[in-house]
Amino acid sequence: MDTQNAFNETQSSHDRLKELKEFDEGKLGVKGLVDAGIQKIPGIFVRPIEDRLKDFGTYSDDISVPVIDFSHFGENEDRTAEIIKETIMASKEWGFFQVINHGIPKELLELMIERSRMFHEQDAETKKLFYSRDFQSKHVYFFSNHDLYQSKAANWRDTLYVNARLTNGEVDPQELPPIYKDVTLEYVNHIHKLADLILMSISLGLGLEPECLGNMAKCTKSWAIINSYYPACPEPELTIGLDAHVDTSFITLLLQDNIGGLQVLHEKKWVNVEPISGALIVNFGKILQMITNDMIKGICHRVIAKTIGRRISIAINYNGIYSSEKIHGPIKELTSEENPPIYKKFSTEGLIKSFFSKSLDEVGANLDEFKL
């Protein structure tokens, strides 16, 4: 690099840091920029050209993630066996599927989306009070881009995070935003039960005891909610809603509104997860992949930015009891001489701390550091 280039490089990283700080100190996230009327996206959101070029020609329009009808699960033997078979196939082939007829009232799903939207669209001064980057100890907080200072380009998304992991699943209702509190507490109870059912159906499909995965995930004690808000973007082709990543979780249950934009990587192509009214999206993360010794894989997904709408999604992650002890390792029954353990034992705390200390594009899908 010649001196002039070196100078420009330093200058631009200096400017970038300044822009990042200004954005962070504004405490209003991406929505704050859109409300201010910007017509061009700020430089901090522009993805490197080589990353954008890599995306060309990688779409697959003619397939979609499996949809599983969960009605009568556990009520009728044949039906239950069928659902288990479908779930295990979808989990192995896709690691991502949608569930319909899961028993959670549609009105509650709609209310949950509405309340999440109301949080993000409330009066700016009130919302600012929730802004924080204290990812290790706060329970309820609002921010934009947990990896703002680490990533190559910021994502076009804001987040309200509710972390019940540090309190064994008990959130203090006083800490929740008032407009969002009651619906959320009701919603999570339903989702915990559904997560347990899905883990049960996978346990059975893998030939394990029905409670095996549920007992490890301890859903009611290990949950966190990620309420995402993706504002309409004036230049969506230059940025992204959420960088490609694999969740850390055992299992994630996601509710999306009707805007769309979520895509999963399937056979090296990005496939849209089409919004289905009343459906919940299920996906698996690195923890499930490691404990099932690669039988079920954590799948890479991302969200593209769009010019239309403002998208709401609500993800609940289950990551197992928050502990620094290495309590998770490959399930014995899933390993054998021909199928030796692939991964070391690990702790949920270790994984989560590592997740929050790196950028999403760096966390990626790679599990090499955990291999034996």
Of 177 and 261, nearer to ligand OGA (C-beta) is 261
Report the distance separating Cα 331 and Cα 241, nearest Å. 35
303 binds ligand OGA (CB under 6 A): yes
Name the minimum Å distance from CB 207 to ligand OGA: 29
Q: Which stretch in 39-47, 121-129, 207-215, 254-262 sits in contact with ligand OGA by CB under 6 A?
A: 254-262
Q: What region does 208 belong to: left with phi over 0, alpha with psi -120 to 50, or beta?
A: beta
Task: Candidates 117, 127, 297, 301: give the one binding ligand OGA (CB under 6 A).
Answer: 301
256 binds ligand OGA (CB under 6 A): yes
Please choose which of ligand OGA, Ni ion, none residue 239 contacts, taking the beta carbon within 5 to 8 angstroms, the exact cut-off set by kind: none
Q: Are the CB atoms for 312 and 275 separated by under 8 Å?
A: no
Residues contacting ligand OGA: total by CB under 6 A: 11
Name the minimum Å distance from CB 187 to Ni ion: 18
* Window 177 to 236, contacts with ligand OGA (CB under 6 A): 226, 228
Q: Residues of 112-149 as b/e, b for ≥16 C-beta within 10 angstroms?
A: bbebbbebbeeeeeebeebbeeebeeebbbbbbbbbbe
Task: Candidates 158, 243, 247, 257: give the one binding ligand OGA (CB under 6 A).
Answer: 247
163 binds ligand OGA (CB under 6 A): no
Measured from each CB, the residue nearest to ligand OGA is: 313
Q: Which two tokens stand for residue 6?
A: 């070196």
315 binds ligand OGA (CB under 6 A): yes
Of 160 and 331, nearer to Ni ion (C-beta) is 160
Binding positions for Ni ion, rule: CB under 5 A: 247
Report the distance separating Cα 239 and Cα 332, nearest Å. 43
Report the distance separating Cα 180 and Cα 171, nearest Å. 13
Q: Are the CB atoms for 102 and 108 separated by under 8 Å?
A: no
The secondary structure of 157-207 as a DSSP string is -EEEEEE-GGGTT---GGGS-TTTHHHHHHHHHHHHHHHHHHHHHHHHHTT
User: Interface residues with ligand OGA (CB under 6 A)?
Assistant: 226, 228, 242, 247, 254, 256, 262, 301, 303, 313, 315
